[in-house]
């Protein structure tokens, strides 16, 4: 019996001890228990601090990059602006250089300085936007006969003003001339005026 015990003890003693990790070795050789606690706290602080430092970097790399949205390009403005219709009642001789077929729409153009001269000589005027029913607003008695361009009788001229939104609704000839845009105006109509009927919608100059 003693012989068997000796053999077993020898086998146990001869078996190599398992390797210890560095932390276990450090704790085993630490002489005081309170030093062990301090060491554990120190290691914990290092781990927590490392996590707190690396957390923003880790999450930032995981975020999806923001999609680039190109800025909206501004819409080009209409260089011509809003068109207006200018209606004038002037002496016939003021239209002597504008001899076109009466009561017919023409594509004849006149410069803005000539339009200002007609405004200055007008006895009645009216200016509306081109989108308004001008034929319903202007209800005049116009003659189909030819105009006597050497007389002082009243004649009617209707002009289309590109970019003339600033003269719509003006109440004085001064404001009409002041706000009249540069550029040519298109002659819509020239006719002899029979009487003053229908001029109540116009502004008397």
Please tell me whether residues 138 and 53 are part of one structural domain. Answer: no
Tell me, yes or no, whether 67 lies in a domain: no
pLDDT of residue 8: 57
pTM: 0.57
Q: Is residue 153 part of a domain?
A: yes
Number of domains present in the structure of the chain: 2
> If we measure between CA atoms, which residue out of 105, 99, 196 comes closest to residue 153?
196
- The confidence score (pLDDT) of residue 74 equals 45
Answer yes or no: do 172 and 91 share one domain.
yes
Cβ pair 200, 89 in contact under 8 A? no
Selection from 85, 89, 109, 79 nearest residue 168 by Cα: 85
Count CA atoms closer than 13 A to 162's CA, side-chain side.
Answer: 11
Of 29, 62, 95, the residue at which a domain comes to its end is: 62
Stretches where the chain sits below pLDDT 50 are: 73-79, 101-105
Q: What is the 3-state secondary structure (H, E, C) of the chain?
A: CHHHHHHHHHHHHHCCCCCCCHHHHHHHHCCCHHHHHHHHHHHHHHHHHHHHHHHHHHHHHHCCCCCCCCCCCCCCCCCCCCCEEEEEEEEHHHHCCCCCCCCCCCCCEECHHHHHHHHHHCCEEEEEECCCCHHHHCCCCEECCCCCCCCCCEEEEEEEECCCHHHCCCCCHHHHHHHCCCCCEEEEEEEEECCCCCHHHCEEC
Residue 70 in any domain: the answer is no
**In the prediction, which pLDDT does 20 show?**
59
Beta carbons within 10 angstroms of residue 189's beta carbon = 19
The verdict on residue 76 lying in a domain is no
Domain span at 7: 2-62
175/127 same-domain check: yes
| Same-domain status, 160 and 196 | yes
Q: Are 175 and 113 in the same domain?
A: yes
């Amino acid at each position: 019996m003693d012989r068997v015990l000796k053999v077993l003890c020898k086998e146990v003693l001869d078996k190599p001890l398992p390797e210890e990790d560095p932390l276990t070795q450090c704790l085993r050789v630490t002489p005081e228990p309170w030093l062990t606690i301090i060491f554990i706290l120190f290691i914990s602080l290092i781990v927590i601090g490392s996590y707190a430092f690396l957390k923003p970097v880790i999450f930032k790399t995981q975020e999806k990059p923001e999609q680039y949205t190109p800025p909206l390009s501004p819409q080009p403005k209409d260089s011509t602006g809003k068109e207006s219709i200018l209606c004038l009642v002037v002496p016939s001789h003021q239209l002597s250089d504008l001899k076109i077929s009466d009561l017919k729409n023409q594509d004849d153009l006149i410069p803005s300085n000539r339009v200002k001269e007609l405004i200055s000589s007008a006895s009645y005027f009216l200016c509306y936007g081109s989108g308004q029913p001008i034929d319903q607003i202007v209800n005049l008695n116009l003659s189909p006969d030819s105009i006597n361009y050497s007389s002082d009788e009243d004649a009617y001229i209707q002009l289309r003003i590109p970019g003339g939104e600033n003269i719509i609704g003006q109440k004085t000839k001064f404001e009409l001339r002041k706000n009249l845009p540069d550029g040519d105006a298109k002659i819509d109509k020239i006719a002899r005026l029979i009487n003053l009927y229908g001029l109540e919608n116009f502004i008397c100059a």
